[in-house]
């Protein structure tokens, strides 16, 4: 991230906190990760489709809760249509349970039965019902859950001598971030609250290093020849399987390699997507806009705030998108498949590492970007044939 943090203030601020806690010494050796790796089916020129990774989300990966209800929804729709056989073939899917099992394991390893799990939530809580599904699973396991915002942590959070985190007199075992991944989540006080959480002994989901590992820039660097080989020595088959899911990813770092790809993208903008280090949808640039921005920044270090990616082109299918206040009509759609992963690591030991289910989001082809929260995509269910 060395080139990125020179020009991207948000990533730089996260990085400063990362360095500060490393220098101080990490207070916790248990790490909890809840990831969602997203894919689209790219149609090759010969008509064969392959899953290509769009991105990996390492912080606040959402919809694991609500999507746990979707099999029942679509199963019911199929039954109403008399398609009982098809309904029985829908894949069971319950990410709520899998994600909660990771949080529960981290809570257990923290080792204080009276400590709580804290969901760090948004100022305006638009996705509360998704979070509640996971919360309910924790209460079912007799684990107490509290919901707090950054401003509550700033006002009432504190560390004791052993860096145990307390809020409202309650000890916090696990901090589960559902906030904190976009610059608008932070003012000066919220940055201070973030630093307090990172310094604490609470298990963070994710810790700040893992959040940084989820940037588009790191995704691009991982795709460089030789990098997977260095990180997974001896795992030739796994490396080949991973690499097969990578679309072309290109660094815009200052230099010849960057100059070349910038020129190629200006000449043929529809081949690419231009991505800044942002999460949450609606930030990428396509087509004419991509071209204009690249022309403006091509000779400036500012370009290193972005990466370029080959545009994935899925085969559209006709479907009906059911959304509030919008008419029901057939649209040409594309889908994005997310796979949830949950892991708990204690020092160098991997305590738990498993797939927790999937998420399918479908949107009309007119929209290049934008997810469910943006009002563009809808939750869907894959039907395997
Ligand atoms: P964010 O972190 O904002 O979710 P993404 O990388 O997931 O960023 O991009 C947002 C959306 O843009 C994706 O859900 C997908 O619909 C579209 N998109 C991203 N990358 C590509 C790509 N390489 N090809 C086609 N569409 C893409
Ligand atoms: Mg995304």
56 close to ligand 1 (CB < 6 Angstrom): no
CA distance 339 to 31: 20
* Residue whose CB lies within 8 A of the most ligand 1 atoms, among 63, 333, 369, 373, for a mutation test: 369
CA distance 359 to 354: 15
- Atom from ligand 1 closest to the CA of residue 38: 7
The residue nearest atom 20 of ligand 1, judged by CA position, is 54
Catalytic residues: 36, 55, 57, 62, 216, 275, 279-280, 361
Contact between 281 and 221 under an 8 Å Cβ cutoff? The reply is no
* Residue whose CB lies within 8 A of the most ligand 1 atoms, among 53, 181, 273, for a mutation test: 273
Residues of the chain with pLDDT under 50: none
pLDDT of residue 277: 95
pLDDT of residue 373: 82
The residue nearest atom 11 of ligand 1, judged by CA position, is 369
CA of 64 to the centre of ligand 1 (A): 18
42 close to ligand 1 (CB < 6 Angstrom): no
List, in order of start, the domains of the chain with CATH numbers: 4-247+312-380 (3.40.50.1760), 248-311 (3.30.1490.50)
CB count within 10 Å of CB 305 equals 24
Question: Which two three-digit tokens encode residue 288?
Answer: 């004419």
279 close to ligand 1 (CB < 6 Angstrom): yes
192: left (phi over 0), alpha (psi -120 to 50) or beta: alpha
pLDDT of residue 282: 86
pLDDT of residue 44: 76
- Atom from ligand 1 closest to the CA of residue 54: 20
pLDDT of residue 218: 98
pLDDT of residue 34: 98
369 close to ligand 1 (CB < 6 Angstrom): yes
52 close to ligand 1 (CB < 6 Angstrom): no
Find out whether 194 is annotated in a ligand binding site: no
The pTM of the full predicted model, rounded to 2 decimals, is: 0.96
Find out whether 161 is annotated in a ligand binding site: no
Taking only the tens place, the pLDDT of each residue in 297-318 is: 999 999 999 999 999 999 999 9
pLDDT of residue 324: 84
Find out whether 185 is annotated in a ligand binding site: no
CA distance 350 to 341: 13
CA distance 295 to 293: 5
């Amino acid at each position: 991230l060395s080139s990125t943090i020179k020009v991207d203030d948000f990533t730089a601020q996260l990085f400063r906190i990362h360095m500060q806690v490393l220098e101080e010494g990490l207070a916790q050796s248990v790490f909890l990760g809840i990831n969602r790796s997203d894919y689209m089916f790219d149609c090759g020129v010969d008509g064969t489709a392959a899953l290509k990774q769009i991105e990996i989300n390492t912080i606040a990966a959402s919809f694991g809760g609500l999507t746990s209800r979707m099999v029942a929804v679509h199963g019911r729709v199929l039954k109403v249509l008399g398609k009982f056989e098809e309904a029985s073939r829908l894949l069971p899917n319950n990410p709520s349970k899998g994600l909660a099992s990771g949080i529960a394991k981290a809570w257990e390893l923290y080792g204080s039965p009276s400590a709580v799990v804290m969901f760090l939530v948004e100022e305006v809580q638009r996705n509360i019902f998704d979070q509640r599904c996971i919360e309910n699973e924790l209460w079912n396991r007799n684990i107490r859950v509290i919901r707090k915002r950054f401003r509550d942590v700033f006002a009432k959070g504190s560390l004791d001598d052993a860096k145990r985190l307390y809020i409202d007199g309650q000890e916090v075992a696990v901090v589960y971030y559902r906030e904190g991944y976009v610059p608008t989540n932070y003012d000066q006080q919220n940055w201070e609250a973030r630093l307090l959480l990172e310094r604490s002994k609470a298990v963070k989901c994710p810790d700040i290093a893992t959040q940084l590992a989820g940037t588009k820039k790191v995704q691009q660097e991982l795709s460089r020849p030789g990098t997977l080989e260095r990180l997974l020595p001896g795992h030739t088959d796994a490396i080949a399987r991973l690499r097969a899911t990578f679309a072309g990813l290109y660094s815009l770092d200052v230099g010849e390699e960057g100059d070349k790809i910038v020129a190629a993208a200006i000449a043929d903008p529809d081949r690419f997507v231009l991505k800044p280090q942002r999460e949450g949808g609606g930030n990428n640039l396509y087509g004419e806009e991509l071209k204009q921005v690249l022309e403006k920044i091509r000779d400036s270090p500012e370009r290193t705030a972005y990466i370029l990616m080959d545009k994935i082109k899925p085969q559209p299918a006709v479907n009906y998108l059911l959304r509030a206040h919008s008419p029901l009509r057939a649209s040409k759609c594309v889908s994005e498949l997310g796979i949830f992963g949950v892991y708990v690591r204690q020092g160098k030991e991997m305590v738990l590492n498993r797939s927790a289910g999937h998420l399918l989001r479908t949107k009309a082809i007119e929209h290049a970007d934008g997810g469910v929260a943006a009002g563009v995509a809808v939750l869907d269910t894959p039907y395997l044939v």
